[in-house]
Amino acid sequence: MNPYFKKETWKAWFADNYNKIFIAIFILAIAVRLYYHNVNSAVWWDEADYLSSALHWFFDVPYKYNPQRGVLFPLLIGILFKLGLSESVTKFFVVLLPSAGIVVLTYLIGKQMYDKKVGVVAAGLMSTFWVSLFWTPRFSNDFLAFFFQLAAIYCFWRGVMYQQGKGWTWLFGLFLGLGFITRAQSILIAGALLMFLLIVQKLSFLKNKDLWISVLFFFIPVLPYFMWLSKNFGSFFAFSAGYSSQVISDAPFGWYVLNFPYLFLGMFLFVFFIIGLLSLADLILGFDLVLKKEQKNAVSADLFWLLTSFIILIFFIFWIRGTEDRWVILLSVPLFFFASKGMIFISDLVKKKNIKAASIVLLLLVAGGMYIEWSTAHPLIMTKKDTYVQVKDAALWMKINSNSTDLIYSPSGPQTIYYSEREVVGFPAKEEEFFRDIALRKPKYMTLSVFERYADWVNGFPEKYPDVVMPVNGWFADAEHKQPLMVVFEFKKYEK
């Protein structure tokens, strides 16, 4: 019988104090995410891009899928929508659960690479991490990809480094493949692990047949994805266009990416992160252990996280040349591990004088770090929760007051499509083209708002041509209706 299914195994697991603390942290992680789950009034552009793609595939809503987006996330959304689940319940499964799962994997990886104390402290910090709390209430594929990335790392460490069963190594490839079709940059993990293996095992890892099998497992989800891209977009690598645009445009290097470690941690945790970096002395002084077979230690883990951080920073500074906080969220794991080691170091200093005081100090430090992370997230969430609600309201109004075949011109394409379930197109570059288009396609509505950018001629079009369009609804920033945020215009019957 598998030991994981034995009653004695679970009794022993729940008897461990660190596991008890972890359970409390996990419950907190679920609770705080549920608290903010439905706080947002409307979806943003990227969210609507995934949602509209799902509606297109499963409900024939007119929309053009962007191949630069990972396919798995909107596919899962579409399946759950098709099963009749609401937007809120769907978001729970595809965003909230993976976000909470990241807390679990942070603990498991920390315990596996270092010890239970590092794992539980890092999991505590991850449970209220401000980037995670801010983005979890939104349809962001970053957390599903992040979950698969950490699952791949965890399986790699158990299967390849600890040799605890070939199944772990195979699962490493599968999770990496799932991460890739969720968000292509997940492949950076493979680059970090390849560099790591070349250092610690030189070329001997090529003799590991289970690693080669893991490559096959990687292609289980990836190969059908490539074939689908080739059939529908003419290239196996249609997803990669957005990843090279900054290089092609010769944009400046994104040096500001280096600010994110500090932004993730804040001053309080950053101090402990610096203290935790002192543990890298073991890597420098004990690097010979890494090159030998004594690889089941924290020194090897430190090397892996240094390589991972290096590759992520290089990719976004020199290739993407910019980033958002959620794009580099994987950096939070080594940041929290080293911050945890810094806190534990201070606690151990106190422990030499008083064991109980050391536990209290560590508890206060971790609680302080968790509170600071939450206090950073909360005002951001509350400030942004009602943004773009006017776009939503306008789209819902147009849905009620139109037929399913009616056409809408709007610069807020994805959101308007998602809420209106109508065909939506953007404005052409020139006014002359617009006249030709509306004469040919007979659109029903057009919208103008303060939320998107468009050509100057578009903004002045309603005033210049009152015989073509007339305002039929509007949303304003003031009670006097002098500061319009969103206006819906209806096309009059017009022939040019």
Q: In this structure, is residue 262 part of a structural domain?
A: yes
Is residue 344 domain-shared with residue 414, that is, in the same domain? Answer: no
Q: Number of structural domains, the chain?
A: 2
Is residue 422 domain-shared with residue 297, that is, in the same domain? Answer: no
Q: In this structure, is residue 299 part of a structural domain?
A: yes
pLDDT average, residue stretch 143-166: 96
Is residue 206 domain-shared with residue 221, that is, in the same domain? Answer: yes
Is residue 63 domain-shared with residue 126, that is, in the same domain? Answer: yes
Q: What is the structure's pLDDT at 290?
A: 63
pLDDT in tens, 279-329: 888 777 766 666 665 555 788 899 999 999 999 999 999 998 989 999 999
pLDDT average, residue stretch 382-386: 96
Domain end position, chosen among 384, 401, 425: 384
CATH number, position 414: 3.40.190
Is residue 373 domain-shared with residue 480, that is, in the same domain? Answer: no
Is residue 275 domain-shared with residue 409, that is, in the same domain? Answer: no
pLDDT > 70? residue 445: yes
Q: In this structure, is residue 496 part of a structural domain?
A: no
Q: What is the structure's pLDDT at 335?
A: 98
pLDDT > 50? residue 495: no
pLDDT > 50? residue 276: yes
- What integer best gives the mean pLDDT of the chain? 93
Confidence of residue 166 (pLDDT cuts 50, 70, 90): very high
Domain end position, chosen among 332, 359, 384: 384
Q: In this structure, is residue 41 part of a structural domain?
A: yes
pLDDT average, residue stretch 98-121: 97
pLDDT > 50? residue 496: no
Q: What is the structure's pLDDT at 293?
A: 54
Is residue 82 domain-shared with residue 151, that is, in the same domain? Answer: yes
pLDDT in tens, 247-257: 556 788 999 99
pLDDT > 60? residue 412: yes
Is residue 213 domain-shared with residue 272, that is, in the same domain? Answer: yes
Is residue 351 domain-shared with residue 446, that is, in the same domain? Answer: no
Is residue 471 domain-shared with residue 449, that is, in the same domain? Answer: yes
Q: How far apart are CA 323 and CA 109, in angstroms?
A: 26
Is residue 437 domain-shared with residue 422, that is, in the same domain? Answer: yes
Domain end position, chosen among 323, 358, 384: 384
Contacts of residue 356, Cβ cutoff 8 Å, sequence gap at least 6:
none
Beta pairing partners, 469:
491
Is residue 303 domain-shared with residue 398, that is, in the same domain? Answer: no
User: Which residue range is the domain that position 116 belongs to?
Assistant: 3-384
Q: What is the structure's pLDDT at 251?
A: 80
